[in-house]
Structures are given as C-alpha cells and as structure tokens.
Amino acid sequence: MRESTWHDFRRIDFEFEGMDAILVFPDEANNEKNWLLKTEYFGAFQGFELEMVKRGWHLAYVKNITRWCKDEDLDRKARFAEFLSREYGLYPKCVPVGMSCGGLIGFKLAARHPACVSALYLDAPVMNFLSCPAGLGGKCGNEMLPEFTAAMGMGLSELICYREHPIDQMHLLLENKIPIVMVYGDSDRTVPYVENGALLEKYYRENGGELLAIGKAGCDHHPHGLEDPTPIIEFVEAHRL
C-alpha cells in the first residue's frame, strides 16, 4: 500500500485482486460513509468528485481489464464494494461516476449488481455499441471498433446480433428503481446523444423512472461535467444512503 495525496486529501493506492485500486478519504472532521466509484478514467474531469470529497464523501477506483466492460470487471467491482464496506466501514452501496465508456461500465454494473448501487451519474455514456464504437448510425466514425474487437472478441457481425447493449438492460435499472443523473453534449460526435443517452432518457420518462438529464448546448463529447456541478451534487446527495 502506498500513501499520497489527491488535491490535499489522503489517498491510498493498493492492489485489489491483482488490479490497481485507489481510495481517497475526506477530512476526518467531515468523514461520511457515502462514496463514489469512478468507473474509468480516474483523474479525468475531476470537478464533481473533488466537490463531493470536500463534502465528506470517499472516492474509489479499481482498474478495468478494458474500458469496453467485461463481466469480470463488473463482478470485481461488486466485490470491491463489499471489501470497502468491510474494511473501511463504507456503505454497501455507492454512486458510480461514469464518463463515456465509464458510463457504459457504471450502467452495466447497476444492471448486473443493483445491490451495490444507490444512484448513477452518467456523462455522455456509451449505451449502444452499434453507435459507438461501430458508427452504424452515421453520426460518428468507427475508429474505436478495432480496439473493441480486440478487447471483447466481437466484430461487426457479432455486434449486429448482440442483445446485451446497455439499451437492452434499461428495464433492469427501472425495476430496481435506480435514479440517474445524466449530462450530455447535444453536439457529441463520439457518442451521439440521440443514439445513446436519449434512448435511456425516453425509456425512463415513459416508464416512470427517476432521471435528470442536463444537456449542454453546442458541446461535443468533451469536456465532461459541468462548470458548476451543483445540479449533479444536489441530485446525488438527495439519493444518499
């Protein structure tokens, strides 16, 4: 285990089941049992996470085999949640913070292991592999498809017949009453909203799910987050344990 700091907060780096893991602690006087799980890209677009740690939340991360979401990565995250609850007294449920492919991971974690998720923050999430990485919708390219194929062992012909996209699992989150806050750019050329997050927004609204969608006019895939993360913070804190 190695100790350091993250924005002046205590940070520990360690191995969990052979994968790099991180846990950031709030100030002792402001210590809570609530925690965020950054599902991918730890250290990127940190504004929201930093504000939450300042408010007493912990921040955790465990590395993935691939950003394209293998079941074994999801199962490891569920065991990681159990480990943090047992060893550090954190709540069994967390709020995954998922940006882009991290949104894919956060969503599928909630679908596969709803018992360890209290709410979701998704940001320009990959919801439909035929859109990203395949680019079949025509609104983005397919430059990431070779990476996906190498990581997941699925080419385009397999993807066309695939039935476990996040958009195929929306009913699982609805059944488990997982509240979602989602941020997106309306000019996203990497993960087009109309082919991804918009499908989730429509499904949740039509079926009584709790979802707050926050669009950014003229924004491409980056930057993630909001200049003022207050709406995300308020939503997440309203669904704390």
Q: Which DSSP state fits 189?
A: S
pLDDT for residue 54: 97
pLDDT for residue 29: 80
pLDDT for residue 140: 80
Bridge-based pairing state of the strands 180-185 and 211-216: parallel
- CA distance to 38, 48, 186, per residue, from 59 (Å): 7, 11, 29
pLDDT for residue 138: 79
Q: Which two tokens stand for residue 108?
A: 């599928």
Angle at 97 between CA 238 and CA 59, to 5 degrees: 85
Bridge-based pairing state of the strands 35-38 and 9-16: unpaired
Question: Cis omega before residue 223 (within 30°)?
Answer: yes
Q: For the chain, what is the total number of helices (H) and then of strands (E)?
A: 8, 9
3-state secondary structure of 182: strand
pLDDT for residue 59: 98
Q: Which DSSP state fits 117?
A: B
Mind listing the domains of the chain with CATH numbers?
2-238 (3.40.50.1820)
pLDDT for residue 142: 87
Report d(CA 62, CA 139) in Å as an integer. 32
pLDDT for residue 241: 79
Q: What is the pTM of this model?
A: 0.96
**Interior/surface letters 169-200, b for 16+ CB within 10 angstroms, e for the rest:** bbebbbeeebbbbbbbbeebebbbbebbbbbb
pLDDT for residue 234: 98
Reading the chain (241 residues) residue by residue, the pLDDT tens digits are: 999 999 999 999 999 999 999 999 999 888 899 999 999 999 999 999 999 999 999 999 999 999 999 999 999 999 999 999 999 999 999 999 999 999 999 999 999 999 999 999 999 999 999 999 999 987 788 899 999 999 999 989 999 999 999 999 999 999 999 999 999 999 999 999 999 999 999 999 999 999 999 999 999 999 999 999 999 999 999 998 7
Contacts of 68 (CB under 8 A, 6+ apart): 101, 104, 133, 147, 148, 151, 152
Report d(CA 83, CA 77) in Å as an integer. 10
